[in-house]
Amino acid sequence: MAERMATTFATFQRLKDKGIAALKQGDYVAARPYLIQAAECMIEIAESGKDAQQRAEQEAYARELLELAKDCDRRARLAPGGPARARARDAEEAGPAPTDWIIREKPNVRFSDIAGLEDVKEEIFLKMIYPFRRPELAQHYGIDVGGGLLLYGPPGTGKTMIAKAVACEVDATIFVISPAQVMSKWVGEAEQNVRKLFSAAREEPKSVIFIDEIEALVPARRSSDSTVMQRVVPQILQELEGFDRNASRALLFLGATNEPWSLDRAVLRPGRFDAKVFVPLPDPAARFKLFEMYLGNRPLDDDVNLAELVDQTDGYSGADIKAVGGRAASRPFLESVGGAEPRKINRADVLAAIDAVVPSVTPKDCKKYEEWAATVG
């Protein structure tokens, strides 16, 4: 129970931070759904608490977030173009299919562009890509075409890029959707949004639906059925069950999560997420390629040895290594801005950057993924 509440609080913090950030940037349309979902998380936390005063404070905070969400709606209508946008939204509510949040994309990212992760790529090719490329062989051996794939692992390991590479490898249209987009359009009609999303995907010859942070859309259900989530989860499950695995318009459904233990257990059964692929931290070969990507296109001194940097960054994610590259470049850049002669990025710059960038994933975090994988098989 304590672990679940800790996870819920972490989800609340992430959603609240995203909502406040969008609010500060004046993006009221984006801020609103994050604030609503953060409020729902805080209500769940309050309901589990035993301290009456603390519970009252948490409920009051949830109400403040909901008021902020209402204020976002008001500001969006008053902003330039707001009334027109509001009329368009009202027209959408009357029935036409939404097109502003269901965005079709044809990515050009291939697996060869992704550093390392060879075992992950091989598993995805076997389970998802080869049946699409060779449907006649798949039919001959009774292999399903399409299905669900869950990508899970630490943050910053390239799960979104992998999803786009899957779509590119099978020449499919990808729909990249966030939970906030599904939940934000019609309060009380999120299930309809899910149906429209899957219907739009089925209109394409080949399509991939990718939902990042899917645990926010398909969370573990509580005994109460009073929230939107209790209706959305069954709708998602129904759509996943509805895949026509032998049709020429078969779908690939990809979800990504940093918190697989927060998912509803029902979505993990065969016929829904048929494959669950762990996306680990980059191995030495991957880290070498990442340093090539994030330092190779910058003015680099001859004393920089990428192999040495690989040894210094065991446990770093791809996002961490990207941050190292940016921080290393900032030292000579700031010197030049201050009037010094422009120079190349040297070994000292990069090593100082490595010391400054703390790995975002701990060994304890990695062990948690291993333990979860052991429970789901």
Asked if residue 365 belongs to a domain, the reply is: no
Identify the pLDDT of residue 186. 45
**Which residue from 191, 257, 198 is spatially nearest to 227, judged by alpha carbons?**
191
Identify the pLDDT of residue 343. 94
191 with 117, same domain: the answer is yes
52 with 146, same domain: the answer is no
Half-sphere exposure of 351 (CA within 13 A, CB side): 9
User: For residue 79, what is the DSSP state?
Assistant: S
Asked if pLDDT for residue 115 goes beyond 60, the answer is: yes
Identify the pLDDT of residue 230. 64
Asked if pLDDT for residue 54 goes beyond 70, the answer is: yes
Which of 75-84, 107-116, 119-128, 205-214 has the least mean pLDDT? 75-84
* Stretch 339-344: mean pLDDT: 92
> Distance between alpha carbon 218 and the CA centroid of its chain, in Å?
13
127 with 271, same domain: the answer is yes
For residue 319, give Cα distances in angstroms to 68, 108, 248: 32, 21, 37
Domain range spanning residue 48? 2-93
Asked if residue 183 belongs to a domain, the reply is: yes
Question: Residue 300 is encoded by which pair of tokens?
Answer: 């680099």
Q: Rounded to an integer, what distance in angstroms lies between the CA atom of residue 182 and that of residue 297?
A: 38
Asked if residue 371 belongs to a domain, the reply is: no
Contact 219, 257 (CB under 8 A): no
308 with 245, same domain: the answer is no
* Stretch 312-327: mean pLDDT: 93
To which residue do tokens 């995203």 refer? 18
* Stretch 226-247: mean pLDDT: 64
Helices (H), 25-146: 28-48, 52-78, 82-93, 118-124, 130-133, 135-140
Asked if residue 367 belongs to a domain, the reply is: no
Asked if residue 373 belongs to a domain, the reply is: no
Facing residues of 256 across strands?
151
302 with 189, same domain: the answer is no
For residue 345, what is the domain's CATH number? Answer: 1.10.8.60
Asked if pLDDT for residue 281 goes beyond 80, the answer is: yes
Torsion-angle region of residue 323: left (phi > 0), alpha (psi -120 to 50) or beta? alpha
Ramachandran angles phi, psi of 174, nearest 5°: -110, 140
Q: Rounded to an integer, what distance in angstroms lies between the CA atom of residue 372 and that of residue 377?
A: 9
Asked if residue 194 belongs to a domain, the reply is: yes
For residue 198, what is the domain's CATH number? Answer: 3.40.50.300
State the angle between helix axes of 318-337 and 347-356 in degrees (0 to 180), rounded to the nearest 10. 120
Question: For 56-108, how does the pLDDT look when each residue is reduced to its tens digit (9 = 90+)?
Answer: 788 888 888 888 888 887 777 666 555 444 434 444 443 444 445 566 677 88
108 with 246, same domain: the answer is yes
DSSP per-residue letters across 167-214: HHHTT-EEEEE-HHHHHHSSTT-HHHHHHHHHHHHHTSSSEEEEETTG
Asked if residue 372 belongs to a domain, the reply is: no
67 with 120, same domain: the answer is no
Q: List, as own/partner pairs, every contact residues 44-51 make where C-beta atoms lie below 8 angstroms and the sequence separation is at least 24, other chains included.
A: 44/8, 44/222, 45/5, 45/8, 45/9, 45/12, 48/1, 48/5
150 with 87, same domain: the answer is no
62 with 180, same domain: the answer is no
Asked if pLDDT for residue 35 goes beyond 70, the answer is: yes
256 with 175, same domain: the answer is yes
Q: Rounded to an integer, what distance in angstroms lies between the CA atom of residue 345 and that of residue 347?
A: 7
What whole-number percentage of the chain has pLDDT above 90? 20
The total number of structural domains in the chain stands at 3
Contact 271, 240 (CB under 8 A): yes
Identify the pLDDT of residue 328. 95
For residue 79, what is the domain's CATH number? Answer: 1.20.58
Facing residues of 173 across strands?
207
To the nearest 10°, report the CA torsion of 355, 154, 261, 56. Answer: 50
200 with 118, same domain: the answer is yes
